[in-house]
Each structure stands twice: as C-alpha cells, then as structure tokens.
Structure 1
Amino acid sequence: MAKQSVQVYRRLLVYSKPYARRIVFAMLASLGVAGTDVAVAKLVQPLVDYVLAAEDMVLVNLVPLVVVGLALLKGISRYVQEYFIKTAGQLVVQDLRNDLYSHSVELSMGYFSRTPSGTLVSRIINDVGMLQKSAVDEIVVVVRETLTLVGLVGLLFYNDWRLAVLAFTVLPLAIFPASHIGRQIKKYVRKSLANIGVLTSILHESFSGIKVVKAFGAEEAEKKKFFDENKTYYRRIKKIIKYDVATAPIMEVLASFGAAGVLWYGIQRVMSGAITQGELLSFIAAMGMMYGPVKRLVKTNNVIQKAIGAAERVFDLLDLQADIVDAVDAEKLPLSKGYVQFDRVDFGYDDELVLKNFSVSVEPGQVVALVGPSGAGKSTLIGLLARFYEPTRGKIQIDGQDICAVTQNSLKEQLALVDQETFLFHDSLLNNIRYGRPGASEEEVYEAARMAYADEFIQEMPEGYETVIGDRGVRLSGGQRQRICIARAILRDAPILLLDEATSALDTESEAVVQRALSNLMRNRTTFIIAHRLSTVMNADRILVLEAGQLKEQGTHQQLLAHNGLYKRLYNMQFQEQN
C-alpha cells in the first residue's frame, strides 16, 4: 500500500482500539485454525509411510479420531474467531457512523446549502458500510493466513529445502499484479461511491418532491436521470469486479509453474531414493495448502483497498471544519431582553454581496417587518441573526453583546424560528411540539397547543397527541402543520422570534387562525417578520424595506405610504392584484 493508504488505514484502526480484547481473542483463535491446517499437511507423510505402507491396524483405527479431532478443533477456533472479530467490526462501524453523523450535524448552514442531503446520507450509510468488513475483520484474516503461511513454509523447508526453493520462485512474481489490481480497485471504489451519493440524492429529491413530479408529468425525465446515473455506477462497479475476479486466476496460473517444477523435480528425487513417497505427498499437500493463504492474502489486499477508498471519503468529511465555531473565550449569553442591533453589516455568498452596510436597532418587544422584492436580503438577515452565517463585515449584537463572541448554544436558546417550510418529524404530535423544549411537561405541551389553536384538531386525531403524523407531517393540512410549528415555538419561550413567510402558503381561512396563533406567540417578544403579503405586516411597529441588499426605507405602514417610495409601489401592486 502507498504511504497515504497506510496512513488512512492506521487512522481507521484507531477505531478498533476500544475493542482490542475481542480482537486478541479472535487472533488467538486464529492460531488454532492455522495450526490445524499445518497439522493436516504434516500428517500426510505418516499416513502414507506408516499407515498405508506398513498396514498397522492400531494406527488405522486412530485415523478417524485424528480427523474428527482436528476438524473439531478447527471448527471451534473458527467460530470463536469469526464471532469476536465480526462483533468488533460492527462496533467499529457503529462508532464511525456515530462520529460521522455527529460531525455532520455540527457543520455550518453554508455546507448544507452547498451539499445535497442525499450525498451526506450516502456517506454515512454506503461509505461506512463499505468499511464494515474491512475495518477489523481483515486484521484477523491477515494474521490467520500469515500464521498458516509461515507454518506451511516452515514445513516445506523442513521436508525438503530444495523443493521449497523451487516452489517459492513464483511468489515474488505475484506481487506486481496484486499491487496494480489493488490500486485500480481503490480508484474505482471512490468513483462508484460518488455515484451512489448522486443516486441517493436523485431518490431523495424525486420522492420528497413526488407531488411536483406527478403534477408536471415528469416521471420519465426523473427515470432517465436515475437510469443514466445507475448505468454509470454499473460501469464503475464492473471495473472493480473485473480487477477483483482477475486475482484468483492470475495466482493459479503463477502457482501452476511452481507446482509443475516441484512435481517434475520431486518425482525424480523419489525415484532416486532421496525422499519417500509420503514425504513428497506431504510436501505437495503443504504446497497446495500454502497457495491458499497466498491467494487469500492477495484477496484481502483487494478488500483493504476498497476500505481505504471508502475511508478516504469518510475522513474527508470528518476533517471538514465548520465555517462557524465558538471563539476560544466565548461566553454564555444570559437570558436576553430582546434588544437587537445590526451595525454596518455586509454579507455575501462567495464574492457577491447580498447585504450591504445594513444598520438598524430594534427595541425589546418590538415587532419589525422585513419587506421587499425577492432577493432583497430578507431571509439572509434572519439567517445572520440566528448565526447560520457570519457577517462579512460589521457586527450583530443582542443586549449589547456581539453574537460572534457568545456560545452558539446560548444564542440559540434566545431564538425561536417559524419557517415557511413547515418541517415536522415522523413522530407523534406531542414529540413534534416538545421538540421546541425537550424537557417540557405534557401539560406545558398542551398549553402551547391551545395557544396555537392546535388543541382542537389534535383532540380529533385518532390517538390525540400520540398520533404519528407521517413523514414531514403528511397527515396534516398546511394550516395544521403551521400551527404545530407555532406551538413548538411557543413552548420554546424564547425572547426573540423569527417568522419567515409563516403564512405564505395558507388559504384565507387557515391564515386567519394562524394569525391569531401568531399573535399569542409574538406577545412580549422581539419579533422579526418576513412577509410578501403586506396585509400581514400592516400592524408592525416598524417596517424595513429592503432592495438589492440595502435598507431603502423604514417606518410604520402609514408613514411609508405617505413617503410614496418603494413600499407604496409594492403596496399598490398587491392592491391591484387583489382587486
């Protein structure tokens, strides 16, 4: 293996350390497996020379006992070895998956905006799955086959060193094809796992958006996309199969040269009386058994190369640093009063600024609406306040403290988000509401649901609060999903509230109920509201009008209408559309 591959494999083996005892038991058991193989080869000679030739009935009667005894010893040894090594391998994979998932969810929002979720799922499931047989299992395979090989090689040289030298002339020739095959397998494993990531993303998108796919009759287009990627995956897997299955034939052809030479020279030595027939047969048996471990060791190299190809992708993700981390001296933000200040804030995705020199101060308990054309930077502001992203320039303060100087967990405790995407989990209604505060009592959950006007329809569900609502809350209407999200935010009881298009997808009747729920939620909280429908923000304490990332106007609804600027134009456009 190349130096980089060795380093990757060593890093992978670090995960095996907690389970060293299991691995040691497996290795000790492999001594029994290797020992029985060597014993079988050695016993061929006395079987021929002393049992068959001498016709000793006492020894003949011992033959079944020896055969059964060796089989029993080998069977027990193999069982112990396989059990301990496979459970150790499962535990290693479990730890690696846990670390990979834990690290992934800690990455910043910027990473998730750049990376399809299907690709991440594939890394955690498929890439780690590729390591399952390789992380620990192959260590014991290497030890077992090496011990068997050493024992058989010793027996060969003990029986006849001349024949042994002849048998070993072909082994160095096997190194070159084995090394080339291993490198090719590793290369195509990485490529095939990348294909699996794309396939997983296609599946995730098409099934999550199945309503859109059906509505636009795009089934054939989605199928073609999947079939094309699946075909590319097959082509790369075919390469892996081609190199993998070539290993055994190459080894057998090379071994045949050594076997031919040994038979030719060995028969001559028997005819000359230098060795007995039993010694030659014992040598041939040991030589035949020796090539088995050699082939398995080469095959093991292929498996290890697959593991390294997958491990490189896994460690690439584990080594990825979060864009946003707590400062070394970060302090915990105490319970906020809700005073928020943006001070000359700039922010851009890559090199394009989407927010420019933005400054505003919001008093505790104030309701501030953010309006403006699409792409004006409204959602970016909320993302910056929640510290999903870091400002390119300037700072954001809560109660006078820079949010970049406090811990992220203490900042999140000050915020509650109700998003336009009403995401609910495949869980009970009770647990979906309690997600806002996991330690809340059932009575607190019920009270939050009542304030969100959700209690009435929950009581009508088959199992009430224990009703499981399906993937993304598919069993609920849009208005019901939104009210569950509001109940979750009410239970959170945070001093700062972020509402991002919370009623944009609702009909008029549902919106009226949700608006009443939102009124309960906003009470005594500093609230930032993003809304395209200006009718929903007319009563805000202050309206901030953004365009192209800049604050163009601010004031109350009446003040902005009197100003006759951008807000007035947006209002007139919506009024005309409604008419």
Structure 2
Amino acid sequence: MEQATTATKTGNIFDWQVLSRLMQYVRPYRRVFYFLIFLTVATAALGTLRPFLIQQMVDVSIEQGDMLGLNKMFGLLLVLLVAHALVSYLQTYFGGWLGQYIVRDIRVDLYKHILNLRLKFFDRTPIGVLVTRNISDVETLSDVFSEGLAAMIGDILQLVFIMAFMFYIDWRLTLVSLSVIPLLLFSTYVFKEKVKKSFQEVRTAVANLNSFVQEHLTGMNVVQIFNNEEREFTKFKAINQEHTRANIRSVLYYSIYFPVAEVLAAVGVGLLVWYAAQGQIEGTISKGALIAFIMYNALFFRPIRQIADRFNTLQLGLVSTERLLKLLDSKELIADNGTYAPATIRGDVQFDHVWFAYNDEEWVLRDVNFSVQAGQTIAFVGATGAGKTSIINLLSRFYEINKGTIAIDGHDLREYDLKELRRHIGVVLQDVFLFAGTIKDNITLGSKDITDEQIWAAADLVGARRFIERLPGGLEYPVMERGATLSVGQRQLISFVRAMVYQPRIIILDEATSSVDSETEELIQQAIEKLMQGRTSLVIAHRLSTIQKADRIIVLDRGEIKEAGTHEELLRHGGFYQQLYQMQYR
C-alpha cells in the first residue's frame, strides 16, 4: 500500500518547484487569478478601515459636537460596509470558481494520463490508491485557492494594514496590544506542526480505506463463498478505527489551540484596557483611540489564528499536488510513436526470438518463435503459467517485449499507430468485464460510428440476437456493474458481439468458452467457426476439444515452445500434447 508522505520532497516548508508546477494550471485563468489577488488586497484594506473611521467619528465629530460631520462619517461607514461585503463575496466566489476549474483541468489531465499507462503499472498499484489520487487528492487542491493561498495572503495583508493603522493612531497602545503576540506565535507554530502531522495520517488512512473497500466490494462473492464476512469486517473496523483516531487527533489539537488563542486575545484586550484607562485618566489617550484599538485587537488576533489553519490547508494541497505530479510524471506510458496506419491488414503474424518478463529477467517467455499466415488458426495450450496469455498481451501491445521482434504483415508492432493496430485486433477474454450502462453501450463502448444495424449483424453472426431481443428493452437493457444481472454465457456472447462489431482481421480468444455451459459452448463454437473464416485467429484453450480443427497447435511449458503441429501430428508425436490429451479424456 502506498503511504502518504509527511513532507515535501525537498524537506522545505514549501516546495516551490511543486508550487510553480501547480501555478501552470492557473495560466488559462490568469485574469481571474489577478482579479482575485486584487480582491484579496481590497478585502484586507476595507476590513481594516472601519475602526479608524469610528475613531475619527468619536474623536473629531462627537467630541466637537459636529453632527453634520458625524452624519457624513456614518454614511461613509455604511458605504464601506457594503463595499466590504461585496468585495468579500466576489473574493469567496472567484476563489472557489478558480479552484474548481483548476481541479477540473488537473483531473482531466490525470485521468487521460492513467488511460495511457501500461498494464504493468496497474499490476502493482492498488486501484484504491488511484481512486484517492483522482478524487480526494485532486479535490484538496480546490482548497489551495479558495481557503489556502489567497486567504493566507489576505490574512497577512490584513495584519500589515492593521499594524500600520495602529502605529499611526498610537504607538504606545500598539506595543501593549502586541505584547502577547510572541506567546500566540509560539502556540500557533506548535499547533501547525501537530495538525500537519495528523492531517498526513488522515490522508494515509483515507487511501487505505479506499483501497480496502474497493478491493473487497469487487471480490464480495469470494468473501461470502468462504464465510469470511466476520474476518473482513474486523479488518475494516481496524482500518476505520485508525482513520477515526487520526481525525480525533486533529480535533484534539483544534480544541486546545483555539481556546488558548482566545485566552491570549482576551489577555491582550485586558492589558490594552488597563493601560488605556490610565491614559484616559491622565488625558494622554483619546476615547476614540481606545475604541479603535479594542476593535483592531479583535481583528488582529483572528487572522493570526486562521493563518495556521490556512498554512496547513496550503501545505496539504502542495503535498497532494506532489503526489499527483509524481503520477503525471510517470514514464510508464505505452510508447505510441508509430505512424503506420493501414486501412486494412492481411493478418500475417510473426514472433521472432521474443523474450518477455513482467519483472526484471523473471522470464515468462523465452526465445519464442512462430508465424501465422493470414486466415490461419493457431492454438496455444499448456499448463497455467506457461505463457499463453502473455503472448496475446504482447500482440495487443498491452506490455512491451524485452528482446526480439513481433510483426504483423512484416511491420514491427512499434511501427503501427497504436489505435490503428488495436482496431484490427478483436479480443475475447475469459473474464468478461461489462460496464454499468446499456447492452448497446457495452458493445459500442460509446462509439457513435457503430449503427444498430451493425450491432444486430454481429449479434446474428455470434448467435446473440435471440437472448438480447428477449431482454426488456433489447439493446437498451440496463447492465449492472460487471454484468451482474446477466449469466456468464450472456456476458460472453456480448463480448463476442463487441469484438466482431469492429470487423477485426485478427481474432484473439482467451479461454472464451471455459466458463459457459455446454449448450452455450456449442452455440459459441458454431459462431467461432464463422468468425474465423478469412481471419487470423489465435486461440487459447484448456479444453482441447475446442482446438482440434486448428491449423497448428503450439504447446508451451514455462515460457518455451515444446511442440508445434496439428492435433493428429501431436498425438502421434507422443509428447506434452498427448499427455494433456490423455489427462483430459482419461
């Protein structure tokens, strides 16, 4: 399980490189960003003018009995309040707007990148971690702009404006008001460090929860078949308890820090009133100054308390950004540099001294050599782990070979445009995956170029029309996730239609009939015979009865070709194939 990091990769408070990468997503909306900065400055300035105006109203207009001046100042104060409310609204709205659009763009880029990653990446990366990256981590970034960066800049500017007004009004009262600041800054620093650590633990716990829930919901049938509900529930409670503990720790730090900050703020006000009262008695401090300082004191301590929270929001956003950038920078992409894109192919296939390993030099295929002429059917047999499925994975370029060459019609696979290559190859797997949607959606996979007539033609060829027409709504019948409402045979037939609707020149069948009943198998076998006519076919099957008519059968063992020939030739040879045949029919 991937764990969340507790610091940026450079160890600095901020990783400026990560921040600069994040700001690249701001460029399309730079006008909004600049407007947001202006609004942040305006909010900070307008928010600090009120106490100063009230001080002027008291010391100038009220003390001198100037009612006209008082009315003007009161009108100006109302205008200021309305302007501050409007600017605050715009700042909040555009901060959230900018955050959401940046989140949208990053999520689109991230998902597009994930779609082009090699299957090897998914073999070792938990799906729940990728879900966390694409959903939770990306969502955290919106807070960087709405509650983090802009808000923290606004808080800092507000502190600067407040201190400027305070020193302008009375420097002595300013020093008294700031006397408790060192204690507040120290408590803020401790709070920031503690909350940062607890938030990191929360992010790790969220990733663990996502991975566990996704994996076990997908494998719920296995959990229930083996009566493992109680043990899995115990595991879930442990993971969930750790998530709760991490959140409770952050709640604890908040519950300690904010009362401490309130007490320190109250002490500051108390010292201010005590000192100002003496100045009032001695006539050295005006009433307006005292009122203004009490208001400034409240305004001053609020952004200091918030800055710690903003800081953690910003840093968590940057940590999430670093994770996302690490995923976006992953080099495990399928190389798609080929430009060869023929309108059609013959279907000649050649494996020339092919070596392949999923992990470094743990060879799955060893020096594999064979060729298939267009229109021929070649079958692969062998024990589990012999390398049969790896061959078809390589032909579709789901994985890259380590050594050797794979060619179609004499052209190296890497010369082909990847989309065009796969357009000519139809694949039917043993484990059929159907998406939530209609039967039509699962056949066309969203392609607008495929008509209903083409779907029905492929269904007629496979023999799937009858069962599809019996379903409520026919092609519009809603399929649940993974095809839960359909039988294994029905899902298999739909996968045949899905493969055939594109009219591929090369057909790959990976245990295509191993999970269906005898009646459906007979139906599929009839369809297969029609499908193979005029097409190059590569068939993997444990049931040797399904491949006896193949033009050639290749026997694999531990990644090496042991035998090759027709069914009759291999039986006469008396080797691996004969042993497999006798084991099945004994």
Q: TM-score range by the shorter chain?
A: over 0.9
1:8-44 deviation line (CA, Å, top 9, x unaligned): 2332222222222223333333444333322211123
- 1:58-69 correspondence runs (5 A): 58=68, 65=75, 68-69=78-79
The alpha-carbon deviation at position 267 of structure 1 amounts to 3.3
- 1:333-344 correspondence runs (5 A): 333-334=341-342, 335-344=344-353
Amino acid at match of 2:139: G
The alpha-carbon deviation at position 369 of structure 1 amounts to 0.6
The alpha-carbon deviation at position 71 of structure 1 amounts to 3.0
Are the aligned partners of 2:377 and 2:539 in contact in 1 as well (CA < 8 Å)? yes
What secondary structure sits across from 1:391 in the alignment? coil
1:323-373 deviation line (CA, Å, top 9, x unaligned): 53234xx33242321111111111122242121111111111111111011
Match of 1:509 in 2: 519
Are the aligned partners of 2:188 and 2:305 in contact in 1 as well (CA < 8 Å)? no
1:496 pairs with 473, 490, 506, which one? 506
Are the aligned partners of 1:16 and 1:136 in contact in 2 as well (CA < 8 Å)? no
Match of 1:475 in 2: 485
The yes-or-no answer on 1:141 pairing with 2:148 is no
Match of 1:456 in 2: 466
Q: How far apart are the structure 1 equivalents of 2:452 and 2:245? A: 55
- 1:435-446 correspondence runs (5 A): 435=445, 438-446=448-456
Normalising by structure 1, we get a TM-score of: 0.92
Match of 1:348 in 2: 357
The alpha-carbon deviation at position 456 of structure 1 amounts to 1.5
What secondary structure sits across from 2:15 in the alignment? helix
2:239 pairs with 216, 229, 243, which one? 229
The alpha-carbon deviation at position 170 of structure 1 amounts to 4.6
The yes-or-no answer on 1:557 pairing with 2:567 is yes
1:197 pairs with 202, 207, 224, which one? 207
Match of 1:84 in 2: 94
Q: How far apart are the structure 2 equivalents of 1:243 and 1:18? A: 38
What secondary structure sits across from 2:277 in the alignment? helix
What secondary structure sits across from 2:84 in the alignment? helix
1:238-280 deviation line (CA, Å, top 9, x unaligned): 3333445554345445545654554444333333322212222
The alpha-carbon deviation at position 485 of structure 1 amounts to 0.7
Q: How far apart are the structure 2 equivalents of 1:422 and 1:486? A: 10
What secondary structure sits across from 1:89 in the alignment? helix
Are the aligned partners of 1:354 and 1:377 in contact in 2 as well (CA < 8 Å)? yes
Q: How far apart are the structure 1 equivalents of 2:414 and 2:279? A: 84
Match of 2:418 in 1: 408
Are the aligned partners of 1:199 and 1:230 in contact in 2 as well (CA < 8 Å)? yes
Shift of the 249–7 alpha-carbon distance from structure 1 to 2, 3 Å rule, reads farther
Shift of the 469–175 alpha-carbon distance from structure 1 to 2, 3 Å rule, reads same
1:302-327 deviation line (CA, Å, top 9, x unaligned): 21122122222222211211253234
Match of 1:373 in 2: 383
What secondary structure sits across from 1:370 in the alignment? strand
Shift of the 171–410 alpha-carbon distance from structure 1 to 2, 3 Å rule, reads farther
1:132 pairs with 110, 130, 142, which one? 142
The yes-or-no answer on 1:206 pairing with 2:216 is yes
Worse-matched range after superposition: 271-280 or 474-483 = 271-280
Match of 1:311 in 2: 321
Are the aligned partners of 1:366 and 1:527 in contact in 2 as well (CA < 8 Å)? yes
The alpha-carbon deviation at position 183 of structure 1 amounts to 4.5
The alpha-carbon deviation at position 412 of structure 1 amounts to 1.5
1:103-131 deviation line (CA, Å, top 9, x unaligned): 11111000111112222112111111222
Structure 1 residues without counterparts, runs of 5 or longer: none
1:124-154 deviation line (CA, Å, top 9, x unaligned): 1111122221245433313432332222111
2:548 pairs with 528, 538, 542, which one? 538
The yes-or-no answer on 1:331 pairing with 2:339 is yes
Amino acid at match of 2:340: K
2:457 pairs with 439, 447, 452, which one? 447
What is the RMSD computed on CA atoms of the aligned residues?
2.5
Q: How far apart are the structure 2 equivalents of 1:347 and 1:135? A: 47
Normalising by structure 2, we get a TM-score of: 0.91
Q: How far apart are the structure 2 equivalents of 1:543 and 1:437? A: 36
Are the aligned partners of 2:406 and 2:412 in contact in 1 as well (CA < 8 Å)? yes
Match of 2:3 in 1: none
Match of 1:39 in 2: 49
Shift of the 455–16 alpha-carbon distance from structure 1 to 2, 3 Å rule, reads same
Q: How far apart are the structure 2 equivalents of 1:295 and 1:436? A: 51
Count of aligned residue pairs for this structure pair: 574
Amino acid at match of 1:125: I
Structure 2 residues without counterparts, runs of 5 or longer: 1-10
The alpha-carbon deviation at position 64 of structure 1 amounts to 6.3
1:368-424 deviation line (CA, Å, top 9, x unaligned): 111011111111111111111122221211112221343322322221110111111
Shift of the 253–320 alpha-carbon distance from structure 1 to 2, 3 Å rule, reads farther
What secondary structure sits across from 2:284 in the alignment? coil
Match of 2:32 in 1: 22
Q: How far apart are the structure 2 equivalents of 1:316 and 1:511? A: 47
Are the aligned partners of 1:369 and 1:540 in contact in 2 as well (CA < 8 Å)? yes
What secondary structure sits across from 1:364 in the alignment? coil
Are the aligned partners of 1:422 and 1:485 in contact in 2 as well (CA < 8 Å)? yes
Q: How far apart are the structure 2 equivalents of 1:158 and 1:210? A: 69
Match of 2:16 in 1: 6
- 1:115-130 correspondence runs (5 A): 115-130=125-140
Shift of the 19–437 alpha-carbon distance from structure 1 to 2, 3 Å rule, reads closer
Amino acid at match of 1:221: R
Shift of the 244–283 alpha-carbon distance from structure 1 to 2, 3 Å rule, reads same
Match of 2:307 in 1: 297
Worse-matched range after superposition: 173-182 or 510-519 = 173-182
The alpha-carbon deviation at position 66 of structure 1 amounts to 5.1
The yes-or-no answer on 1:167 pairing with 2:164 is no
Q: How far apart are the structure 2 equivalents of 1:520 and 1:173? A: 83
Are the aligned partners of 2:461 and 2:527 in contact in 1 as well (CA < 8 Å)? yes
Worse-matched range after superposition: 162-171 or 5-14 = 162-171
The yes-or-no answer on 1:383 pairing with 2:385 is no
Identity of aligned residues (%): 36
What secondary structure sits across from 2:486 in the alignment? coil
What secondary structure sits across from 2:356 in the alignment? strand
Match of 1:417 in 2: 427
1:104 pairs with 109, 114, 120, which one? 114
The yes-or-no answer on 1:431 pairing with 2:441 is yes
Shift of the 184–104 alpha-carbon distance from structure 1 to 2, 3 Å rule, reads farther
Are the aligned partners of 1:355 and 1:550 in contact in 2 as well (CA < 8 Å)? yes
